[in-house]
Amino acid sequence: MLLKFQTDDVMNAPEHHRRLARLEDLEFANSFAGLPEAFYTRLAPHGLPAPYLVGASSEVAELIGLDSDEIGRPEFCEIFAGNSLPPGSDALAAVYSGHQFGVWAGQLGDGRAHLLGGLRNASGDWEIQLKGAGRTPYSRGADGRAVLRSSIREFLCSEAMAGLGIPTTRALAVVGADLPVRREEIESAAVVARVAPSFVRFGSFEHWAAHGRGDELRLLADYVITTFRPECRDAANPYAALLADVSRRTGELIAHWMAVGFMHGVMNTDNMSILGLTLDYGPFGFMEAFDAGHICNHSDHQGRYTYRNQPHVAQWNLYCLAEALRPLTGDREMVQAVVDDNFGPAFEAHFERLMCAKLGLREALAGDETLIGETFGLLQQQRPDFTLFFRTLSHLPAAVDREKQGKTDDPLCDLFFDRAACDSWLAGWRARLAQTPWDDTARRAAMRAANPKYVLRNWLAEGAIRKAQEGDFSEVGRLLECLRHPFAEQPEFEQYAALPPDWASGLEVSCSS
């Protein structure tokens, strides 16, 4: 059943005229549940006692067709804590397998997630999944719970990435409860309501390939193609077309991560979306003092998921997907070629395009790769704050009088311990701008639209978490409001654009984060 609205022609109505639903009008369908039962286990979520709202995104509420005024109702917490199921919900936990840290881990699955079902409206198809809603058959001995700390991080980062224009799962809400959960210490439980067109992963295909279940493999591929990528159906080999599509989308996704300094932290194949979305926020981080070898995940002892390794790991993961799809697509060399022909070109083209925008280059020239390489060489040598470097650069003029140069360039040079190195790079940058000149006011505005002022730094998330652990959720809301508009100046949030305070130097995130 589809989401009910008050008007008959809502699917064709302009967005600002579309009527939004009340909670009791939400009726879910679950297309994934149309697959055979081998793909999942039907079970209701295990709710939270006396749940309370920690944070909610009115933007996501309206995206799924829900009136944002409904967020304030007690029933909202009851539904999205897993205490009551909305009409039509066919709750389930999906099975999948995967490679973790480059090693085959065998069967995994939704160990603490329950898919409530999906809603369809003029904005698209949206599945809603509750993360932290208790044990499932795939919990592997764990408690199936999420803690407040990690739930706030996922909620805020999902919405921060959407604000940055990066393909991502979204987050409707975090619901908490005074239910103790044991991690390194006793923490309180929470549930994140995650939203995406689909939560199918690379590991969903690996699972059936590893068990030699060709029929199920084909069923899953057909489901993804029919539901999300119908254009692949007309290809000579629809399954190779699907692999090409996800390779291209993944290449563009990783390029976007790299361009904003985002590090996922745990790029296992079970954490890679078949739709090319950023999926499963755990030990993520945004680059501060630049280091291409930075490891944001304290659990990553071998440094597999460093910033610089992300393109390589993504391609390796795609090879795993290609191998899983091989019974449907062809020989090993052919499917690897599909990955190589789509991932690399997509990554390189998108990354160069994003970097040219960040550097304020009006038109691409043949030598721009050299400037981009020199830029990252300077960052690696000098270790300025990544976000502040590009945002500050966005304010500098294309030409400056020699007498005024020091004062004009001070805000950027102050980020470097070797100011002469910064001066030298700026001279080359300005010389490149002069090759494709354009109105300086327009250029600076374009650069500010490509270089965020605000990202979810770990110390910002930590500040919101500490207040929330004391029962004050106001900082979660303030950060959410700021991160919705990361490219705007927002002087009321100026403190969120600052360098990390001294106390933040010891912050660590791990796979339990």
Tell me which residues are annotated as active site: 270
Give the SS3 label for residue 359. Answer: coil
**How many whole angstroms separate alpha carbon 341 and alpha carbon 123?**
32
If one counts every other C-beta atom within 10 angstroms of the C-beta of residue 434, the result is 10
Helix runs in 263-418, H state only = 310-329, 332-358, 368-382, 386-393, 402-413
**How many whole angstroms separate alpha carbon 413 and alpha carbon 417?**
8
**How many whole angstroms separate alpha carbon 371 and alpha carbon 379?**
12
Look at residues 392, 411, 430, 379 and name the one whose alpha carbon lies nearest to residue 261.
379
H-run or E-run covering 125: strand 124-131
Q: 497 vs 231, 333, 407, 460, 501, CA distance in Å?
A: 42, 47, 22, 10, 11
DSSP secondary structure of 428-443 = HHHHHHHHS---HHHH
DSSP secondary structure of 446-509 = HHHHHS-S----HHHHHHHHHHHHTT--HHHHHHHHHHTSTTS--GGGGGGGSPPPGGGGG--B
**Contact (Cβ atoms closer than 8 angstroms) between residue 3 and residue 26:** yes
DSSP 427: H
Ramachandran assignment for 493, one of left (phi > 0), alpha (psi -120 to 50 degrees), beta (any other): alpha
The pair of three-digit structure tokens given for residue 275, joined into one six-digit string:
């739709």
**How many whole angstroms separate alpha carbon 348 and alpha carbon 339?**
14
DSSP 4: P
**Contact (Cβ atoms closer than 8 angstroms) between residue 256 and residue 75:** no
**How many whole angstroms separate alpha carbon 455 and alpha carbon 57?**
17
The amino acid present at 28, given as its one-letter code, is F
Counting Cα atoms < 13 Å in the Cβ hemisphere of 442 gives: 6
**Contact (Cβ atoms closer than 8 angstroms) between residue 62 and residue 20:** yes
Burial 60-82 (b: 16+ CB within 10 A, else e): bbbbbbbeeebbeeeebbbbbbb
